[in-house]
Structure formats: structure tokens, C-alpha cells
Structure 1
């Protein structure tokens, strides 16, 4: 089997986790790196033994490298569209972090280019990978809960709450991130709900707010205005009639990383959470007995997905239906845009109307 050679764009904390995981894949080698930080390039480049000539500060140069078989992009949102466009132009397979782009307008441009010159692509909505989230999808689509009537989805974090004294970082900068909590955490909620149900969101109503309107500049300490949301909620209707309630916040004290989904069906209720991503909670009415029964289902780790191996396989010509495609990423961006428009207008917005 031919060795697969990849390049990594962006060398922050999340990228270092991906580097570690790609290092476990047999038949794959990281041969090129890209970052604006010369210090990060030197540190990671030396660690991995990357040739000096393949330590790039330009993403376009890494993508154009003929020895690079596939590209992994782990960058802030404002770089997503440019990297996508360059990979499409070069015909390079791409593994990219969500959301697809910074704005819906950028997503439209990317999709049009992709439709003319498609490339192998994984948009990494990472919660698909968890064993319990995979298993709950199988149970729901296998009919365990019967008809799904409604769902509740939330993604709560506390790092932006007042006790954390979080300064103004790029995730609060509209010119870089596009939206705040909505695009960062809400994109996961949208993807996971549609993936588990096997249905697309068709219409919604929404409310976004900025709980902390100013944050201190990390260098000067002076207040900087925050123009993106740090709390978002919306109600949505799926194409099959199921209704969903969604909320996400960076100000939820006590919630380190709490992403969870509760599915209410005719036959019972399934609950899954990152607080224990190897368990499902199943509540149902037992025949001949009053009330309900609640069971904890332990999910074997083999139900989890391995996106790093799958990207390697994708470069080698194998397909995987379990990961988000570029089209899935575009749909996600369209739903994010519908949430923005619904919040601004105070009306129900159809995703198809975009």
C-alpha cells in the first residue's frame, strides 16, 4: 500500500491533538506544516522531523506542494473559505474543522466551486465520532423510540462566564469568527441533530444575545466591544415534522463541555451526553407495569468512529458515509444563516428560502 503524505495547516491546541491521532494511523506520514507562527513551526517541525523546506507560512504554498496528498485544516473561521477554495483548485483532499466558512456568502462561493470540481472532503463535526452518539443514531433510525415527536439539544460551556474573566480572544471577534457561540457550538448541535434523526431542519425561529458586551484586551486591558453572540437558542421543525428545541451558551457556570441530546418518541426517550459519552439513558413504559423504567446502556468503544483513519482511506479512494461532506457543511452553514436571520427579523425563517 502506498504511503499517504499529508500537510497540516494551523498548529494550535486542536491541531496538536489531530497530529497525535494521525500519528497512530499506519501508512500515513505528516510531511508538511503551515502556521503564521515561526515558533510553532519550529517546535512542531522539530518534533516531527519535518524538512525545513516544508515548513510553510503560506497555506497556498503547502496546498500547492506536489508531495502533499491531502490537507488537514485546523484554523480560525476566517481562513476556512480560502483554504477550501485552494484545495478545490488544486484537487487536494481536505479534512477541515467546522463550521464550513465564516459566513453564508462564503459558503455559497465554495459550494459553487466544489460542484464544478469536487474533491474528497471531510468536515469534522467531531461529536459524530463518539461511541454513544453513533449508537443513539443506530437506535433512533432503527426504530427503537418509534416515531420521534420532539428533541431537546443543548451545548453548554462555562469558559466565557464572569468568574472566568475571559479576555477578548478571536472567538469574540466578528471579523474572524462570523458568529459567536452559534457557529462554534451551535453548528455541532445542528449537525448532530440532523445526523441522528436522518432529517434536515426545514424552518426555525431564534433568539441570539450577548450576555457580556465587553471584554478586556489581553494586552492593554482596555475594554473591547463584543459583536457576536455568547448565547443562542432556537426552535426548529425538521422535514418529517419533528420539532426541536436548542440552546447553547458560553456562560453556563458548572458546564465544562456539556453537549447532549434527548430524543422523545412514541416508544420511549433516549438521552446521550458528553458527560458520559459511553452511555445512553433509555426510559420507557414497561408492559403491564405502572410508570416508566429507566435503564443505562453501556456502549462498547468499537461503536466510535476514527476520522483520522477514514481521511487516510478517503485519500486512497475509499468512501465513508458517516462523516460530514462539503455539502453537509454547506447545509449546516445555511441553517446557521437561517438562525441569524430569524433572530434579526423575529420571524420564522425557512432554510429553503435562503
Structure 2
């Protein structure tokens, strides 16, 4: 129910499966936990399958539905377009939405290519609409607390980040060629899907990248053609196979503008890892570690601890002083993955209220895309690629 005396933002969402559920849940719950001044209204859900989108709209509480995203954007009762489609649709929908004067909230990665990302950023800035990209892991309270520790100098000068994002859901050679393995739809594999999150967290916590050197590999070159798919699962249609043209894994080194160095690994072939989004950051005064499968906890070490008692301590980031945590439950009553979306949603709604685009916005999406593309270029050329020379000019031209 819409809050009394609150400004409304009427949402039109394109797509309704995995991320559609996560976004919808955040819209429904954000005002329960937070005293935001803007109330999201589930105005219209859009999908190509009329039976499926009608059923999803009824189940999730959307007021209406459309089967053509162009009609959705043309509606005068929509204020914000939320894009949760496969990657190849992001640019066209976002640009059309911005040109229609709608705010835009888009799933990651922002686009298929750096050039598409530039056009998306130019469109939202030219039309002065609010924009944000869904790098939701930034909004785990432990990540936000890590940011505070770094900004307050508790780790001192940062030396290292080592980040991994490990999954194992496509290790079976008979797993079908779902859209996340189709280059024409997703652009890249584990690199754009998983490493994108690691890149964003590294930029958020450590700083801007200077140069990268990477390798990418596809272990299974052909897979059965898919018949039906949903989320991260699918069924094969027959004994026909298709070529896999995206990476199964990417590994790269990085230098940062502040002198730090980093190692990054993203793979869908790490058996036993369902969603292993992890990192460790080492500085001159201390270190931090985080594991997304245990997302409420931050491991913290300080060099100046008393000898004999030194070592990593576990901080359960659920105290009221931890970012966002005070909106939920008493200390140690942990929150989950879905709350990262709610926390991001608070910032999006506040941005709409105050007239600015909160981070991570399309600027961050563009910069992340530049790094991902630089790693792909490095893998092809078998050499280091400088972002400051090869990519920053194109990034700056869009800002």
C-alpha cells in the first residue's frame, strides 16, 4: 500500500525471472524497513510470453503487464524503467527509456560492449534522468563497513586485493547452451557475469584500475541446444549441439592507480563452489576478508594488535552502527542476499527524491565495462593493456 504523503515513483520492469523476483521483492519491502520519502509503485511488468508475464504480475503484485517494452516506455503512468533482461537488450531499452524521460535502473553488466555503455551514459545524461546499475554486493553491510575502515585509514596504504568469484553450475558437459552461454545474448561468460562484480567491488574499495593482463578460457567447446531455461537451469531439446563462444573462466592481474596490485579469478568450473564471491585486501596497517556465502561477517586484522593476540577477528556486521544494519533486526539476527537489493533501492529512491544518480550509476557501469573489455583485449593480444591509454579517453568522452 502506498504510504501517506509520500511521493510516488511508478515502476515499469522489463523481465520477471531471477533478477525480476529480486528487484520486485526489494520494491515491496523497502518501505517496511526504511523511512524513504519516495514510494515505489509496481505499475507494470513486461515480458514477451503473455501467459508467463500475466502470471508473474499477479503473483508478485504488479498492477498491470505489457508484452512489448516499447509500449511500456510509451506509457505516461511510468516514471522509472527497470531492466532485468539478458544483456543484449540493455542498451536499446535504456536509451529509449532515457529519451522518453524515464529514470533507468539496469542490471549488470551495463551492456555488451564499451561502445554501448558510452551511448547509454550519454543518453541518460543528455536527458537528465536518474540512473543506477545493479551492483548489489556493494550494499552488504559488511562491504559498506569495509569501505569505512579503508576510508578512515585503518588499513593504511593498500597493497593487495585478491578476488575470486567461483561457481560450478555448468561443469556437466551435457548442461545445455542457455542464454548465459550464448555470446550474441550475453557478450561474455563468467567474465561479464561474475568478474564484473569483483571489478566493481575492487573499484569501490581499492580505487581505479591502471592496467590489466589476463587470460580467458572455454573448457567445453560445444553443448546441447537448449529447449527451456529458467534462472541458472535448462533442459536440452535434442541431440543437436551448438558452439560455446563465451569464456568458462577468466583470470587476470591488475595494477591500480594508487600503486596497489590485484589478482582476479572468475569461473563456473570450481567444483564445490555454488556462489563463491570472495576477496582479501591487505594494507600497511591491516587486512580484511569477505566471503559472500557468509555475507554478514567481515574478517579484520590489525598489525598493531597486542603480540600473542594477533590474527583475524570476525565482525558480525549486524550492529546498529554498521551501515544499513540498524534498519533490520537486533544484533546477530542476520540478513540475506535479498537485503542487498533493498539497501540499494533505498539509495535509488533517495536519488530520485533529491535529483541525483547514486553510485553505482552508469558512470560506474561504463568504467567497469572498460576494465572487462581491457581484460578481453589482453587475453587476445597476450600482453598488458593500459586503461589510462587505451580506454580512459573513450570513458572521459562520455562523461
Q: What's the TM-score, normalizing by structure 2? A: 0.83
User: 5 Å matches for 1:1-354?
Assistant: 1-26=6-31, 27-47=39-59, 50=62, 54-162=64-172, 165-197=174-206, 199-217=207-225, 218-286=236-304, 289=307, 292-300=310-318, 303-304=323-324, 306-319=343-356, 321=358, 323-352=359-388, 353-354=390-391
| Alpha-carbon distance change, 156 to 314 in structure 1, aligned in 2, over 3 angstroms | same
| Alpha-carbon distance change, 246 to 33 in structure 1, aligned in 2, over 3 angstroms | same
Alpha-carbon distance in 2 for matches of 1:115, 1:18: 24
Q: What's the TM-score, normalizing by structure 1? A: 0.93
Structure 1 window deviating more from structure 2 (219-228 vs 257-266): it is 219-228
Q: Structure 1: any 5+ residue segments left out of the alignment?
A: none
The offset of 1:47, in angstroms, is: 2.9
Alpha-carbon distance in 1 for matches of 2:155, 2:41: 43
Q: Secondary structure at the match of 1:24?
A: helix
| Alpha-carbon distance change, 111 to 20 in structure 1, aligned in 2, over 3 angstroms | closer
Aligned length: 349
Alpha-carbon distance in 2 for matches of 1:6, 1:114: 17
The offset of 1:48, in angstroms, is: 5.1
Q: Structure 2: any 5+ residue segments left out of the alignment?
A: 1-5, 32-38, 226-235, 325-339, 392-399
C-alpha RMSD over aligned residues: 1.9
| Alpha-carbon distance change, 263 to 219 in structure 1, aligned in 2, over 3 angstroms | same
The offset of 1:291, in angstroms, is: 8.5
The offset of 1:140, in angstroms, is: 1.4
Alpha-carbon distance in 1 for matches of 2:46, 2:279: 36
Alpha-carbon distance in 1 for matches of 2:121, 2:79: 22
The offset of 1:147, in angstroms, is: 0.9
The offset of 1:289, in angstroms, is: 2.2
Contact preservation (8 Å) 2:24, 2:60: no
| Alpha-carbon displacement from aligned partner over 1:246-286 (angstroms, at most 9, x marks no partner) | 00100111101111110011112210111211111123444
Q: Secondary structure at the match of 2:363?
A: helix
Q: Secondary structure at the match of 2:238?
A: coil
The offset of 1:50, in angstroms, is: 4.8
